[in-house]
Structure 1
């Protein structure tokens, strides 16, 4: 896949790839030196600033304290900032990444997003890629993780795909809790703070519920909601 030069910071986006899958259309665009993922016409994320995506993983690791070689499930892959941050941390043991869009996985294996995920899909033996829908994966019986770091759509209050709403409701949170080890940490990225989601976490039986904010240049801050399986 060819990558266009910066062209002096030109702001007009250029479509590099377009894929129609079972969940609709997903598009990779380049805007100047940055890349964007668009799903069903809605902006999801770009490579301009990955602070909150990195915080998603770091905050979960910090909450785990002295747990040795903890395991983590990252959902989804996105532009790769969360995976790259996990791969750069030797403390993590097993690192799994759940991504339902095959095109996004391909963009990280052989496309321009490989650099943003630090080529971890191919080079890090701790990393396993799960080509699966995260909501369905969590609801199925399976192995447990010390941390779940979830970055799905734009957070609990703004989902691009209706089926992802189930992740943030009672059934989805119960499924997430069942997939955590005792004392395991749930970290959820959101494009805006959500007091209602904090209450939903408490109602689902999670403990130590709190929110970390990442200031942005304009508008409300990105946040990471944190909770622990009691």
Structure 2
């Protein structure tokens, strides 16, 4: 139904000025510079217009994750960064939408639904990769998906309060730090390999009495034989 990711800032301003319920679709269409029929064709409803960007971002996220060939951990970190980029691409509209959500309880409820949809997108990716797919680890997979979204939303809220208070790099670092706790599954190829040479233990049995020098010589011979010398 939504054919454009552009939410008209003028329409959002009108909703804030007049109130969500008091603003008609005709007024929103006029503010956006489109006809009533085009408004319904592009957005469907007032509520859908407010969340039009979000719908596009969710669709893009699902496509991005579905086509990624990167290790799971890397793919998740990159994806959460792309979501952040899209949310912050138009600061004025993002600020207006955030203000509107604070003022309209029904829109906040819709926001919660969208949050769950983002979680399902990440959960679907992990399921597609057959990660944490056993009955015992399914809850962990859901928790990881919710954790990624929670980290993103925390950074987004910081950005909305003050555009310079967070960055894509800070978000990526926090997401990577969180996901690294599960790197044995999400990025097993990056797990360090113990390259410490194995120690050789030699037990030397010497019959009868022997002085210290004889013992050392015996142990030295045994070690040389163990290493093929």
- TM normalised by structure 2 equals 0.23
Higher helix share: 2
- TM normalised by structure 1 equals 0.23
